[in-house]
Amino acid sequence: MLRKNAKIELLKRVPLFSACSKRELGEIALLADELHLPKARNLTREGTAGWEFLVLIEGEADVVRKGRVVNELGPGDFIGEIALVSGKPRTATVRTRGPARILVVTASGFRTLMHDVPSIQGKVLAALAARIPED
């Protein structure tokens, strides 16, 4: 299990939170739950609603859009932020290749964070804008 400082170090490397202060990262770390996934599993499914934001701690995952692998993810990569913030359906299916560890921030936790720590909002929105895929 990751301690708060380890979560902060991991979150600091995530582009979505790279501009956040240590205090802001600490607030995010408090919301993030660690999960161990013993085998390959879908983390998201293209076209469905998004209820969580995920950070890959260990393991690898494929990003599949319209049946094609369009990206590969590894430790430190994050997913689910576009659907979480925009309310639009997931833009891709993400499936781990085997065992993995992830950090999970729920939609309600994320909304609470944006409300309670407004200094994070602009930083997160700028990072999100850079990640929205072009169709």
Per-residue pLDDT for 131 more than 70? no
Of 36 and 111, which is predicted with more confidence?
Answer: 36
72's CB contacts (< 8 A; 6+ apart) are: 60, 61, 62, 63
Per-residue pLDDT for 135 more than 70? no
Residue 74, domain CATH = 2.60.120.10
Domain count, the chain: 1
pLDDT per residue as tens digits for the range 10-22: 888 877 788 899 9
* Cα torsion angle, 12, 24, 129, 104, sign: positive
Per-residue pLDDT for 117 more than 90? no
Sheet holding 100-106, edge to edge: 33-37, 100-106, 52-58, 78-79
Name the residue with tokens 């660690």: 34
Q: Residue 117: give the domain boundaries.
A: 4-131
Per-residue pLDDT for 104 more than 90? yes
Six token digits for residue 59: 């393991």
* pTM, to two decimals: 0.81
Distances (CA, A) of 49 to 5, 107, 112: 31, 11, 19
Per-residue pLDDT for 130 more than 90? no
